[in-house]
């Protein structure tokens, strides 16, 4: 039987004991109905996992002792997804799937054609929800990393942040010469330690936005003739990258990665 995973940010390897309160306490005691002696896998979201045993329960908390910790190494590139705000709740779906696909950093941004116009409060509430979706998706898929979800930034700030990756890809359906296969077609090429992927909104990017990205050394890339929906594009791109140079399809013994 698989061990239940609990997201515990900030846990340190030296902590011999820890406690679960609030939602986690309710989940373990009343939903899972676990008893003293049961094992739990705690993960801190930045690559460490801790095997813990339930010592006992008090009125509103579970007392755990940490038996041992493991550092999850990654051999996949550090993936950053910069996603222009889509309409409705598509971003919830994109955050969940990007987390399952091992993304480490998600940058929601506005651009000239993004439709949602959010007040500061609404924007903050969306980001809080996406961060919860990311931690739940990491827990569900057994990922050791909970992706960092940044505040919603504008196009220029996004370029600044996403340009930090060694390989910065800007997905533009009007790109005619360079497809995603061209990017990864050189298996003996230098190891790529980090990739940023920029995906536009339903209306795509303007020519001036594309020019600004190129000026920042982003590589414009197409995904073939078919125009993918916003929520499809991020998934396809991340899946291809994880298959070509990441962890999808690697032998499981090297699985200790995203």
Q: How far apart are CA 41 and CA 255, in angstroms?
A: 17
Using the contact rule CB under 6 A, the part of the chain among 20-28, 120-128, 228-236, 239-247 near ligand SAM is: 228-236
Nearer to ligand SAM, 98 or 146 (CB): 98
Torsion sign over Cα 114, 118, 120, 126: negative
In the bound complex, what is the minimum distance in angstroms from residue 175's beta carbon to ligand SAM?
6
Q: How far apart are CA 227 and CA 214, in angstroms?
A: 21
Quick one: which of 173, 184, 206, 219 contacts ligand SAM (CB under 6 A)? 173
Contact 100, 125 (CB under 8 A): no
Quick one: which of 6, 199, 213, 235 contacts ligand SAM (CB under 6 A)? 199
Nearer to ligand SAM, 67 or 216 (CB): 216
108 binds ligand SAM (CB under 6 A): no
227 binds ligand SAM (CB under 6 A): yes
Contact 168, 196 (CB under 8 A): yes
Quick one: which of 181, 224, 254, 255 contacts ligand SAM (CB under 6 A)? 224
Contact 255, 214 (CB under 8 A): no
Quick one: which of 157, 228, 250, 256 contacts ligand SAM (CB under 6 A)? 228
H helix and E strand count, the chain: 7, 11
The distance in angstroms from the start CA to the end CA of the chain is: 22
Quick one: which of 95, 205, 257, 258 contacts ligand SAM (CB under 6 A)? 205
Using the contact rule CB under 6 A, the part of the chain among 27-35, 58-66, 142-150, 225-233 near ligand SAM is: 225-233
Nearer to ligand SAM, 75 or 175 (CB): 175
222 binds ligand SAM (CB under 6 A): yes
Torsion sign over Cα 3, 142, 125, 164: positive
Contact 199, 228 (CB under 8 A): no
In the bound complex, what is the minimum distance in angstroms from residue 97's beta carbon to ligand SAM?
14
SS3 state at 174: coil
Measured between alpha carbons, how far is residue 147 from residues 104, 143, 221 in Å? 4, 10, 24
Nearer to ligand SAM, 54 or 94 (CB): 94
Among residues 176, 212, 183, which one has the least CA distance to residue 197?
183
91 binds ligand SAM (CB under 6 A): no
233 binds ligand SAM (CB under 6 A): yes
Q: How far apart are CA 88 and CA 240, in angstroms?
A: 26
Using the contact rule CB under 6 A, the part of the chain among 5-13, 52-60, 87-95, 171-179 near ligand SAM is: 171-179
Question: Given the rule CB under 6 A, which residues bind ligand SAM?
Answer: 171-173, 199-200, 202-205, 222-224, 226-230, 233
């Amino acid at each position: 039987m698989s061990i239940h995973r609990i997201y515990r940010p900030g846990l340190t390897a030296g902590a011999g004991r820890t406690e679960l309160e609030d939602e986690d306490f309710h989940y373990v005691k009343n939903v899972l109905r676990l008893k003293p002696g049961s094992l739990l896998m705690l993960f801190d979201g930045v690559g460490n996992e801790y095997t813990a045993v339930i010592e006992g329960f008090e009125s509103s908390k579970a007392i755990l002792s940490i038996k041992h910790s493991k550092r999850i190494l990654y051999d996949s590139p550090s993936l950053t997804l910069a996603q222009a705000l889509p309409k409705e709740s598509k971003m919830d779906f994109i955050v969940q799937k990007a987390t399952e696909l091992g993304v480490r950093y998600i940058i929601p941004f506005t651009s000239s054609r993004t439709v949602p116009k959010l007040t500061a409060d609404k924007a903050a509430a969306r980001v809080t929800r996406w961060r919860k979706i990311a931690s739940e998706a990491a827990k569900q898929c057994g990922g050791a990393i909970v992706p960092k979800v940044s505040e919603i930034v504008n196009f220029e700030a996004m370029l600044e942040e996403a340009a930090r990756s060694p390989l910065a890809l800007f997905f533009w359906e009007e790109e005619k010469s360079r497809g995603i296969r061209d990017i990864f077609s050189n298996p003996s090429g230098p190891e790529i330690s980090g990739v940023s992927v920029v995906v536009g909104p339903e209306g795509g990017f303007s020519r001036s936005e594309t020019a600004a990205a190129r000026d920042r050394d982003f590589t414009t890339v197409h995904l073939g003739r078919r125009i993918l929906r916003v929520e499809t594009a991020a998934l396809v791109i991340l899946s291809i990258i994880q298959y070509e140079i990441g962890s999808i399809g690697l032998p499981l013994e090297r699985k200790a990665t995203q």
